[in-house]
């Protein structure tokens, strides 16, 4: 089983560009809103309110993904890939749940930033919002394009071999 994303590190104080050996790919979107300097570089571009906004956002983030690959920066590329994935998942959440709230009750403090319901009940889905569903399709296409990139796959394999 591959190592999971390490939530014990003090990411606000770390520069993972300078210390890529500390980065673990994790599962899905783990760490997407923690890892610096990438969070600060990518988050301002992450939007999905409408298909036009999602298209511009996903294209900008995908361009960052390619820039990180060109620079040999796997951590940056993986973080951009995670933002594309999160664009898909959050758009889908808003498409399925008016207001974007999927679970009943607050996330326990010790589980913030981690995936899963953590014992909370999922709220009933509302009729699909076609605008958010289209935003989700746009992000999914860019996310899949990133996942299929041969340079990304090679760098991911190399990173895991070197650092776990």
- The answer to whether position 28 is within a domain reads no
- The answer to whether position 130 is within a domain reads yes
Question: Looking at the predicted structure, is the pLDDT value of residue 82 above 60?
Answer: yes
- The answer to whether position 161 is within a domain reads yes
Mean residue pLDDT across the chain? 85
| φ, ψ (nearest 5 deg) of residue 112 | -60, 135
When mean pLDDT is compared across 42-56, 71-85, 104-118, the lowest value belongs to: 104-118
Question: Looking at the predicted structure, is the pLDDT value of residue 132 above 70?
Answer: yes
Question: Looking at the predicted structure, is the pLDDT value of residue 130 above 90?
Answer: no
- The answer to whether position 65 is within a domain reads yes
Number of domains observed in the structure of the chain? 1
- The answer to whether position 155 is within a domain reads yes
- The answer to whether position 56 is within a domain reads yes
- The answer to whether position 36 is within a domain reads no
pTM for this prediction: 0.83
End-to-end Cα, the chain, rounded Å: 10
- The answer to whether position 72 is within a domain reads yes
Q: What value does the mean pLDDT take over residues 107-130?
A: 56
User: Which one is predicted more confidently, 37 or 95?
Assistant: 37
> Which range of residues forms the domain containing residue 161?
46-102+126-164
């Amino acid at each position: 089983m591959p190592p999971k994303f390490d939530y014990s590190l003090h990411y606000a104080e770390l520069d993972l560009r300078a210390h890529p050996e500390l980065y673990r790919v994790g599962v899905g979107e783990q760490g997407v809103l923690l890892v610096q300097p990438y969070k600060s570089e990518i988050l301002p571009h992450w939007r999905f309110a409408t298909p036009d906004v999602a298209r511009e956002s996903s294209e900008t983030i995908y361009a960052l993904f390619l820039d990180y690959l060109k620079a040999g920066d796997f951590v940056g590329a993986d973080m951009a890939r995670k933002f594309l994935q999160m664009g898909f998942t959050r758009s889908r959440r808003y498409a399925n749940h008016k207001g974007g709230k999927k679970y009943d009750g607050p996330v326990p403090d010790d589980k913030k930033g981690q995936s899963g319901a953590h014992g909370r009940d999922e709220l009933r889905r509302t009729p699909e919002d076609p605008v958010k569903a289209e935003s989700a399709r746009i992000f999914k296409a860019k996310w899949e394009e990133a996942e299929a990139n041969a340079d990304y796959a090679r760098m991911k394999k190399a990173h895991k071999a070197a650092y776990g």
